[in-house]
Amino acid sequence: MSGAAPGVTVGDGLQQLYQTEIQPLLDELEATRLRARNHSLIVGAIVAPITLLVIAGALLVQIAFLAIFALAAAVIAWAFFTNAARARYRDQFKQNVVARLVHHLNPQLSYVPDTGIGQHEFSASRIYTQGIDRYACEDLITGSFGATAFRLSEVDAEYKTTRTDSKGNTNTSWHTIFQGLFFIGDFNKRFGGMTFVLPDQHEGLLGGVGRTLQAWGGKLDSRPGELVALEDPEFERAFVVYATDQVEARYLLSTSLMRRLLEFRARVKQPLALAFIDSNLYLAISTSKQYFEPPSIFFGSATMTLDDIKAYLADVALARDLIEDLNLNLRIWSKA
Amino acid sequence: MGLILLIVLVLVAAVLVMYNGLIGKRNQVDQAASSVDVMLKKRFDLIPNLVATVDRYMAHERGLLTELTELRTRAVQGDLSTTQRVELDNEIRSALGRLMVSVEAYPDLKASQTFVQLQGALNEAEEQISAARRAYNAAVTSFNNAIQMAPSNILAGMLRLTPRPLFAATEVERRSVDVRGMFQGGQ
């Protein structure tokens, strides 16, 4: 079981799958990795001496600019000539190994490595109100577990700030808005308003004063709704809730769902943010971990053990765990 | 002189802010109480439908059905306070619980589409009533805190604002069968 992934129960079939199907795939993958590594090393062996010569020359004639330029050009050239080999290795891992694990988890699921949940839908959740300047998504898993249809993908959203110093040089820096896994699932209750459950940032420290700050903060950003004070103190320490309807927020966040959310949060050990909009549950798990990526071409080995594969399967099973942990398949209300 | 004027202005502003805060909180309590009423009414309105659906199948539970209908008639009368309505609702809840137990003896009824839909609607009403009560309790707690804590308690005393009671689980409720739990078990 992986440390980062929540406690996943891995089915009995995995060992057999590993021996009969995954291991041959991994052997092929290892061959690809070695080819990619050797190719990268050869390109490096060609680029490096040329670069060193140019830098030495540049330092001799004392043009520091040329030395820096040569170094940058070398890095770009190396990346350009090795990109295809590295991409091939990565694609082969995703197409063969990750796709096989997704299929193993549930044959009905679909996995598309190079697409994800779009920026429009990400923004529609209104969990993050900061304007997005750069957006990337990949590793889309779609399908349903039980009655709950869902989509899950990796998302990386950033904004930029530009500063101009006294010399007139502009300096652009990028800041992360959200990086991690983004989940959209069909919620099991019908509702009409909007409810947001965000990680708590003030109340833990300041108590009642923090609550006042939260109430103001909720009004300041463009997210609709007012602060909802819930009765579970542990939940209140972990999250802050804003909603357009006080009663509806409590209808959605039943006492049992509050408990389940706390438990899920403790298992993933990452900050969670949720939005309930249009009968959907949006859930963002912030993490710097890159999911569904193969081991490094230089420092890793593609001949992975059963435990390594179990860790990947645990990641793949995250959506299932989320649906089970939050009990989204309980369909006893009027919504089918 | 200017200083005294400033102090007076600040005091007046503070009293105004406090006054508005108190009245705002009192109105939130009233609003929350009315949303409890709305959610209760949702459940009451399901009963005639339920009785009509169940009636055709259940030959031996007439007494229970009559009781439900009577309770419902009393509950929707206009001149009840929220507390009285909640008490009636508790009885209705308990009667519904007993009804759901007897449904086990009628497999045809349990399988009927209309009944399954009604069950869903009843579960929803149950969850919404509980949500409305929690919202009411939150509003009352916030109001009671405001009128009992310094310095707003002084103003609250002058306005004769008194603490409101919280909804507590009643004796009937504690004993009554968990309708939702039964639906889950029955599926």
Distance CA B166, CA B26 (A): 14
Closest-CA distance of chain A to residue B183, Å: 7
Query: What pLDDT, on the 0 to 100 scale, is given for residue B83?
Result: 77
Confidence of residue A179 (pLDDT cuts 50, 70, 90): very high
The overall average pLDDT reported for chain B is 85
Q: Which residues contact A70 (CB under 8 A, 6 or more apart)?
A: A51, A54, A55, A58
pLDDT at A314 over 80: yes
Question: Average pLDDT over chain A, rounded to whole?
Answer: 88
Residue A147: partners with Cβ closer than 8 Å, 6 or more residues away = A186, A188, A328, A329, A331, A336
Cβ distance B121 to A254 less than 8 Å, yes or no, reads no
CA-based nearest residue to A155, from A141, A131, A137: A137
In B, which residues are within 8 Å of A254 by CB distance? 127, 130-131
Region A176-190: mean pLDDT is 94
Of the candidates A246, A333, A335, the beta carbon closest to that of B135 is on A246
C-alpha span between B169 and B185 (Å, rounded) = 23
- Chain A residues whose beta carbon lies within 8 Å of the beta carbon of residue B138: 228-231, 246
Give the per-residue pLDDT at A8: 46
**What's residue A260's pLDDT?**
93
To probe the interface with A, which of B31, B41, B50, B123 has the most A CB atoms within 10 Å?
B123
* Partner-chain contact A251 B131, CB within 8 Å: yes
Q: Is residue A284 classed as helix, strand or coil in its secondary structure?
A: strand
CA distance A204 to A211: 9
Contact state of A229 with B138 under an 8 Å Cβ cutoff: yes
Residue that wins the pLDDT comparison between A212 and A57: A57
B33 touches chain A (CB under 8 A): no
How many other CB atoms are there within 10 angstroms of residue A325's CB atom? Answer: 17
Residue A316: other Cβ atoms inside 10 A: 27
B35 touches chain A (CB under 8 A): yes
* Pairwise CB contact (< 8 Å): A332 & B142: no
Is residue B184 pLDDT above 60, yes or no?
no
Binning pLDDT at 50, 70 and 90, where does residue A61 land? Answer: confident
Beta bridge partners of A185: A150, A281
Answer whether A60 touches B (CB < 8 Å): no
**Res B91 pLDDT > 50:** yes
What's the pLDDT tens digit per position in A235-272? Answer: 999 999 999 999 999 999 998 899 999 999 999 999 99
Q: Over 60: is that where the pLDDT of A10 sits?
A: no
pLDDT (mean) for A309-327: 92
* Integer-rounded Cα radius of gyration of chain B: 23
Q: Are the beta carbons of A246 and B124 separated by less than 8 Å?
A: no
Q: Is the pLDDT of residue A27 over 80?
A: yes
Average pLDDT on A188-207 reads 80
Whether A188 and A331 have beta carbons less than 8 Å apart is answered as yes
Whole-number pLDDT of residue A311: 92
Q: For B67-79, what is each residue's pLDDT tens digit?
A: 999 999 988 887 8
pLDDT in tens, B96-154: 988 888 888 888 888 888 888 898 899 889 889 989 999 999 999 999 999 999 888 99
Calculate how close chain A gets to B59, using CA atoms only, in Å: 26
pTM of the entire predicted model: 0.82
- Interchain CB contact of A250 with B (< 8 Å): yes
Q: Does A256 touch chain B (CB under 8 A)?
A: no
Maximum mean pLDDT: which of A60-74, A185-199, B59-73: A185-199
